Amino acid sequence: MLRLILASESPRRKDLLHKAGIRFQVFPVKVSEIPDKTLNAGEQILDIAGRKARAAFEELSKRGENSSFVVLAADTEVIFKGAPLGKPSSPEDAIRTLLRLSGRVHEVITAVQMIDSSTGKTHSHLETTQVRFRPLSETEIRDYVATGEPMDKAGSYGIQGLGGKLVETIEGDFDNVVGLPVKAVLHLFEKNGWSFRE
């Protein structure tokens, strides 16, 4: 039976796949997530997702896995004025980021990389969603950061949690902002004839 291997520890990605009725195993890998500055923002995100996918694929191949599998890796970044914002380094950093985003539009880009163990082929997808924050007061931002929610999230907010209250409008795939464009992932499964339904 073909197995889907999620090369991520993200609880959000696991939750999205569960909700879509997909069966998978988790195989997290540690890779450098420092972006290659010679690439543009979209290419940087694809490159990082590719590092995760390759690292998991190589590790599983070394173990002599005898059943076929597909590795799924992803990287999500918040892009503002062409530059990735990343995860905050401190509460003050999160406050600065959210003040910059207040009342403005930013992009959330997720790169998906899959590797098919039976062919060694890589399949990629890049999904972009436009998000507009409503104008926020500094007190509101400080109160939100004090909850701790922003601290492990690109762009310093979680749309599926309390951070959803900061958002005025979104154009595009909501799941993409959470961390995985599920519709696009299911389309790639279908296109390749892969079935991972529970």
Query: 125 vs 26, 44, 169, CA distance in Å?
Result: 20, 13, 24
Q: In the chain, where are the structural domains located? A: 3-192
- CA-based angle 151:171:124, to the nearest 5? 75
pLDDT band at 15 (very low <50, low <70, confident <90, very high): very high
Q: What type of residue sits at position 26?
A: V
If one counts every other C-beta atom within 10 angstroms of the C-beta of residue 197, the result is: 9
**Residues ≥6 apart with Cβ < 8 Å to 105:** 130, 131, 132
Q: What global pTM score does this model have?
A: 0.91
| Tokens 């299911």 belong to residue | 186
**pLDDT in the model for residue 197:** 86
75 is catalytic: yes
Q: What is the pLDDT of residues 93-143, one digit of tens each?
A: 999 999 999 999 999 999 999 999 999 999 999 999 999 999 999 999 999
**pLDDT at 64 exceeding the cut of 80:** no
For 3-192, CATH number?
3.90.950.10
Active-site residue, selected from the candidate residues 36, 75, 143, 175:
75
**pLDDT in the model for residue 37:** 87
